[in-house]
């Protein structure tokens, strides 16, 4: 259930996030540099991306890095009085270098029957 807190002294409202979703780029395979997008129904929201448990970004998008990593988008809303609420979504994604993807597409497989 969405929590909506409105100030009676101003025309501001804040709503805790019920859902947070990491939207994936086209794929797989995924390439290093492809962009993940985080969306939420919280308002006004701030975003934090963690990769393998380390904070790396404070925007709603984040680029994949090479190899397998755990990406978490944490959405926080600060309510009147300074309290806050948050939700998150996590994905484990493997991204390849552009060289690796190029090499995969250039290899030809030949089946020979003897």
Query: Domain limits of the chain?
Result: 4-106
User: Which of 90, 91, 72 has its CA nearest to residue 28?
Assistant: 91
Residue 13 confidence (pLDDT): 76
Residue 14 confidence (pLDDT): 82
Residue 37's CB is within 10 A of a number of other CB atoms, namely 14
Residue 81 confidence (pLDDT): 87
Residue 4 confidence (pLDDT): 59
The fold adopted by the segment(s) 4-106 is: Immunoglobulin-like (2.60.40)
Which of 35-39, 71-75, 77-81, 109-113 shows the lowest mean pLDDT across its residues?
A: 109-113
Contact 44, 5 (CB under 8 A): no
Contacts within 8 Å (CB) and 24+ apart, 68-73: 68/92, 68/93, 68/94, 69/93, 69/95, 71/22, 71/36, 73/20, 73/22, 73/36, 73/38, 73/47, 73/48, 73/49
The residue that leads in pLDDT, 41 or 14, is: 41
Structure tokens at 83: 């309290």
Residue 105 confidence (pLDDT): 47
Residue 61 confidence (pLDDT): 98
Which of 48-52, 95-99, 101-105 shows the lowest mean pLDDT across its residues?
A: 101-105
Q: 20-43 pLDDT, tens per residue?
A: 999 999 999 999 999 999 999 999
Residue 8 confidence (pLDDT): 54
Average pLDDT over residues 81-105: 83
Element (H, E) at 84: strand 84-96
């Amino acid at each position: 259930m969405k929590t909506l807190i409105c100030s009676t002294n101003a025309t501001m409202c804040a709503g805790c996030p019920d859902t947070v979703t990491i939207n994936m780029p086209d794929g797989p395979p995924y390439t290093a540099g492809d962009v993940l997008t985080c969306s939420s129904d919280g308002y006004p929201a701030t975003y934090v991306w963690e990769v393998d448990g380390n904070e790396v970004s404070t925007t709603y998008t984040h680029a994949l890095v090479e190899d397998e990593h755990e990406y978490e988008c944490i959405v926080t809303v600060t309510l009147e009085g300074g309290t806050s609420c948050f939700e998150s979504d996590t994905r484990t994604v493997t991204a390849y270098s552009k060289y690796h993807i190029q090499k995969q597409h250039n290899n030809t497989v030949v089946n020979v029957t003897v």
